[in-house]
Amino acid sequence: MNANSQPTQTKPALTPEQHHRRQAAWQIWVPLGLILAIFLTAGVLMLLFTLRYTPEAGLPDQQSPLAKSSVIFLVTGACLGSLLQLLLLVGLVLLSGKMIKGLPGIAHRVQNALTTTAALAKQAGDKLAGPIVTISSLKAALSQLVKSLQFWKKTQAEEK
């Protein structure tokens, strides 16, 4: 073997199921994780900002001893709607994740059914259009025959 030659390694081809699972991970679980991380980070930062508040020197302090905790409860109440929407989103993502496992098989069956339906519709359309095409071609043939006879009569009349 040559010192410069290295064995080549090729990646095995992914099956459609593996490719589908990989796409599901990138399209569902990664964005969900990022959204959860951002939401939790914002909540923690809000809590830390609220708890670390100190009045500035020289300014009158208008806070009661319970002001810090009451602000947390007010903000939590205001964020309850967002929290419910986040829980709904997580539930829908989990449901989508479970549904996506059976999706390729169902999609294949639906595609086969639609292909069969399209073939039957084309066949029925051809049967329905057949008489119309025949009548139109006969009409065109008769029209051309009449024009030919008129031209023949005209040429006969000119020869006399």
- Taking alpha carbons only, the member of 41, 40, 39, 71 closest to residue 53 is 71
Q: What is the mean pLDDT of residues 78-98?
A: 82
Residue 69: predicted pLDDT = 65
Q: What is the mean pLDDT of residues 41-53?
A: 73
SS3 category, 11: coil
Asked if pLDDT for residue 91 goes beyond 80, the answer is: yes
Q: What is the mean pLDDT of residues 134-149?
A: 91
The residue whose two tokens read 């025959």 is: 145
Contact (Cβ atoms closer than 8 angstroms) between residue 98 and residue 21: no
Percentage of the chain lying above the pLDDT 90 cut? 18
Average per-residue pLDDT for the chain: 80
- Higher pLDDT among residues 140 and 62, named by residue: 140
- Higher pLDDT among residues 71 and 113, named by residue: 113
Asked if pLDDT for residue 44 goes beyond 70, the answer is: yes
Query: Could you give the maximum distance between any two Cα atoms of the chain, in Å?
Result: 127
Q: What is the Cα–Cα distance from 148 to 3, expressed in whole angstroms?
A: 87
Q: What is the Cα–Cα distance from 84 to 76, expressed in whole angstroms?
A: 12
Q: What is the mean pLDDT of residues 26-30?
A: 82
30-51 helix and 67-99 helix, angle to the nearest 10 degrees: 180
Q: What is the dihedral of CA 84, 90, 91, 95, to 10 degrees?
A: 160
Q: What is the mean pLDDT of residues 124-151?
A: 91
Asked if pLDDT for residue 65 goes beyond 60, the answer is: no
